[in-house]
Amino acid sequence: MSALAARSATAAAPVIAVEGLAKSFGPVEVLKDIRFDLRPGEVQAIIGENGAGKSTLMKILAGHLQPTAGTIRLGGEPVKLAGPVDAEHRGIVLVHQEILLAPDLTVAQNIHLGREVRRGLTLDDKAMNRSAREALDGLGAAIDPRAVVGSLSIAQRQLVQIARALLVPHRIVIFDEPTASLTPHETEALLKVIDDIRRRGVGVLYISHRLPEVKLLADRVTVLRDGRLVGTYEAADLQPADMARLMVGRDVSKLYPDRAAHAAGKPILEVEAMRVPGYVRSASFTLGKGEILGFAGLVGAGRTELLEGILGLRAAEGSVRLDGRPVRFSDARASMDAGIVYLSEDRKGKGLLLQQNLRTNLTLAALDRFTRGALLSPAREEEALTGAIRDFDIRTRRRDLLAGQLSGGNQQKLLLAKMMLLDPRIVVIDEPTRGIDIGTKEQIYRFVAKLADDGKSVIVISSEMPELIGVCDRIIVMREGLVAGEVSGAAMNEREIVMLTTGAGEKEAALAVEGTGP
Amino acid sequence: MSDAATTSATPPAPRREIDLRAVAPFVALAALLVFGALVNPNFLGIDNLTNVITRSAFIAVIAVGATFVISAGGLDLSVGSMAAFVAGTMILFLNAAPVEGGVPMIALAMLLALGVGALCGLANGLITTVGRIEPFIVTLGTMGIYRALTIWLAEGGSIAMASRDLRAAYRPVYFGDVFGVPIPVLVILAVAAIGAFVLYRTRFGRHVMAVGSNEDVARYSGIKVDRVRTITYVIQGLCVAIAVLVYVPRLGAATATTGLLWELQAITAVVIGGTALRGGVGRIWGTICGALILELVGNIMVLSDLVSEYLIGAVQGAIIIVAMLIQRSLARR
């Protein structure tokens, strides 16, 4: 894969160029004086922290938003993009980060949604299935066009979405964090797809938080910070650490906190022969006091389901002992009362009420602490919000915003603050930094380390191996609903973990690590 | 691209505009008062207005309960039938005259009505939560059940209060007043005040909002979702029973048509009041305002010759649609 980036794009005339681009929402200026150009056959990465303005820029380029100032030139011609449909007619397609497909329709029906092929008055399913198959074959995806989208994996749906976007004639493809919810293997496959698109002479704009990926794939890198352009660089000249520094504006080479190697304290949580029907066949592990325990594995290995089963969030059976005493949690309330909190990987769906304000979200799980009798005390809640904004560095323009209006990183901080109000002894964090920029990542890692230093125990579930290795004292690897093994100390490296997650031999593991590692 | 893509690109609505939505029903109410005064000079008379408010009591009280159910993401279509059923059982109890004395009898009958209402609501709640069935279907079913039970109890006719003395003793609950304020008006104020207190100021109210906003988030936050949902239906049942307590002395009978289409009016009042049908936003005083608007519209139609009063149902139906359109446009701006 590292050969990908080596091929630099030809210095042809840019397919798209913007100059002096600015965007304000009311008095808030989110983009200012942005300039860059994209050449045909080039992958250009756009990187920046959450809130740096990447999404706004992409939405302007795809016609969803109108710029307040500046010009956009397509093939040298200044254009005004009237809307997403207009942008698409001009050959600009956007592949959204979220999956926007109808789950009950088939792959072909989704790909042709809104542009159905008809024969006379009726739909020509044959033609649509054929063209969908061709589109998917073009991406190297072995997906049956007649399959129902709801039955596909996230990665497969992503490919269907890409096939759908590429069905219209295009000169420019914009990818908005396409790998955010993919496993390393799936990511690798997707990067190949994008490379193929580049080979066809199409200009690709690529947004991602995963800097090693950017290094592998991109020809040039444009960095945004606080809505301004930091610069455009040749990817060959930058290391991921340089990119991080440019994004954050300070040195973040030390992403992971130092942690004194220490013996795990006495066992606090002991899980034996846990079974979660449909997900986990059998799993046992022990968590010590003051320990940070990682859970690695591919998506679908059953990590989230195991922890949800233990904490009473889904049906499960097996033996759980807390401080040596057998316990059985019937729901989240029961596990919270026992001092265990779970921060879901699905922040928007299971973590926060996006339509409610910050205060309501913050106190929701620990509402008992803010009542006198049955009566709520808004003043004490406000106090808690002030404390949370300070302690967790939640960056918000106004404190009466809705949770959904915060950036991903700040949502994660709010969710952390919410669960910490319960004063837990054991904290389970699922994908703590998914979709979060590097500056916030560092803060979250430091916070996790501090929890352990304070004698609390932490379980981190993550698909990012460097993160697990950087943060955890010990890592349990799951595969297909079973504990495949455990690594700690010197054995805690990507090769060992990949071997366990995939069940592959030494050689395959080494290959996989080279393909996706930093 | 697709429609979904377009909406996801719209910037989130700033806070100020949500407040606009909360104010809208009161603006509509004021506009309606002005319009009524222009159409008929008698409209703004104290007598007419107290009359209107008094008559809105049933729907207003029921709609307060509906605000809880809808805020929690549920729906109750059975309220009209339930009202008929509760009224029927209450009158049958009074007619059976199991205890001596007018006042104790009535008090006991009231307790029974509240109990029956709560049980009807509990049934709705348990079937919805334990059975994991859409509330639309559950309450559509119980709507039929409660209605048929009433007709069966009435043997196809009507259930009327038999005792003249009891009627006289119970009459003031609808027709009486305290310092000139009709008792039904006081009942509206009391129920709304308690409802607003519970919904806005207590832990349970916060839980209702959370469940209606996003059930999963509520569950992951340690809220007992099923219990909260069920209790909202019980509250709805109690509100129906309270409405019945005021309704029975008015006519002294329950028939097959008692409470007909009340569910439409209650849900309309809630929606006009600014509560979101998808849950997560509840506005008690807006609901009261909505119930008043419905009754005022009927009153204006009677006092004026603009539209035939036989079309009241059509106008009320149109109002719920227009209210939704206004809410939608306020949300988009």
A12 located within any domain: no
Residue in chain B lying closest to A110 (CA): B2
Residue indicated by tokens 């779970």: A342
Contact criterion met (CB < 8 Å) for A64 and B5 = yes
The vertex-B115 CA angle with B111 and B116, nearest 5°, equals 120
Return the pLDDT at B230.
Answer: 97
Choice among A199-213, B142-156, B223-237 with the minimum mean pLDDT: A199-213
B121 located within any domain: yes
**What percentage of chain A exceeds 70 in pLDDT?**
93
B133 located within any domain: yes
Alpha-carbon span A224 to A232, nearest angstrom: 9
B170-205 in b/e form (b: 16+ CB < 10 A) is beebbeeeeeeebbbbebbeebbeebbebbebbbbb
DSSP string of A225-280?
ETTEEEEEEEGGG--HHHHHHHHHSS-----SPP-------SEEEEEEEEEETTTE
Domain residue limits at A300: 267-516
pLDDT, tens digit (0-9, with 9 covering 90-100), for A448-503: 999 999 999 999 999 888 899 999 999 999 988 899 999 988 888 888 888 888 77
A355 located within any domain: yes
Averaged pLDDT score across all residues of chain A:
87
Closest by CA to B266, choosing from B333, B320, B190, is B320
Alpha-carbon span A348 to A173, nearest angstrom: 27
Q: How far apart are the first and last CA of chain B?
A: 22
A225 located within any domain: no
A176 located within any domain: no
A146 located within any domain: no
Q: What's this model's pTM, rounded to 2 decimal places?
A: 0.79
B46 and chain A in contact, CB less than 8 A = no
The vertex-B260 CA angle with B258 and B264, nearest 5°, equals 145
Residues B63, B270 contacting (CB under 8 angstroms): yes
Higher pLDDT, A397 or B67: B67
The CATH code of the domain that includes A410 is: 3.40.50.300
Beta carbons within 8 Å of B216's beta carbon, 6+ residues apart: A346, A349, A350
Domain residue limits at B172: 14-332
The CATH code of the domain that includes B75 is: 1.10.3470
The tally of domains found in chain A comes to 1
φ, ψ of residue A180 to 5 degrees: the values are -55, -40
pLDDT exceeds cutoff 50 at B10: no
φ, ψ of residue B8 to 5 degrees: the values are -70, -20
Tell me how close the Cα of A74 comes to any Cα of chain B, in angstroms: 19
Return the pLDDT at A508.
Answer: 56
A165 located within any domain: no
A406 located within any domain: yes
pLDDT exceeds cutoff 80 at A6: no
- ipTM, 2 decimals? 0.82
Return the pLDDT at A44.
Answer: 95
pLDDT exceeds cutoff 60 at B3: no
* Tokens found for residue A236: 């060959």
> What would the mean pLDDT of A288-316 be, rounded to a whole number?
92
Return the pLDDT at B8.
Answer: 36
Tell me how close the Cα of B11 comes to any Cα of chain A, in angstroms: 9
| CB < 8 Å from A in window 9-38 of B | 9, 11-12, 14-15
Tell me how close the Cα of A257 comes to any Cα of chain B, in angstroms: 29
Contact criterion met (CB < 8 Å) for B219 and A402 = no
Averaged pLDDT score across all residues of chain B:
89
H runs (alpha helix) in B154-274:
164-170, 172-175, 183-201, 203-213, 215-220, 225-251, 262-272
Tell me how close the Cα of B218 comes to any Cα of chain A, in angstroms: 8
Return the pLDDT at A515.
Answer: 47
SS3 call for A2? coil
Q: Give B-chain residues touching A396 at CB under 8 angstroms.
A: none
Closest by CA to B303, choosing from B35, B66, B68, B89, is B35
Tell me how close the Cα of A475 comes to any Cα of chain B, in angstroms: 25
pLDDT exceeds cutoff 80 at B13: no
Residue A283 bridge partners (DSSP): A274
Contact criterion met (CB < 8 Å) for B1 and A100 = yes
B211 and chain A in contact, CB less than 8 A = no
Contact criterion met (CB < 8 Å) for B9 and A84 = yes
Return the pLDDT at A399.
Answer: 86
* Tokens found for residue A196: 């193929």
pLDDT exceeds cutoff 50 at A260: yes
The model's confidence at residue A291, banded by pLDDT at 50, 70 and 90, is very high
Q: Give the containing element (helix H, strand E) for B10.
A: none
pLDDT, tens digit (0-9, with 9 covering 90-100), for B261-305: 999 999 999 999 989 888 888 999 999 999 999 999 988 888 887
Alpha-carbon span A88 to B115, nearest angstrom: 62
B267 located within any domain: yes
Return the pLDDT at A513.
Answer: 56
Q: Which of B1, B204, B207, B228 to mutate to test the interface with A (most CBs of A within 10 A)?
A: B1
Alpha-carbon span A380 to A384, nearest angstrom: 6
Residues A37, A44 contacting (CB under 8 angstroms): no
A94 located within any domain: no
The tally of domains found in chain B comes to 1
Return the pLDDT at B16.
Answer: 46
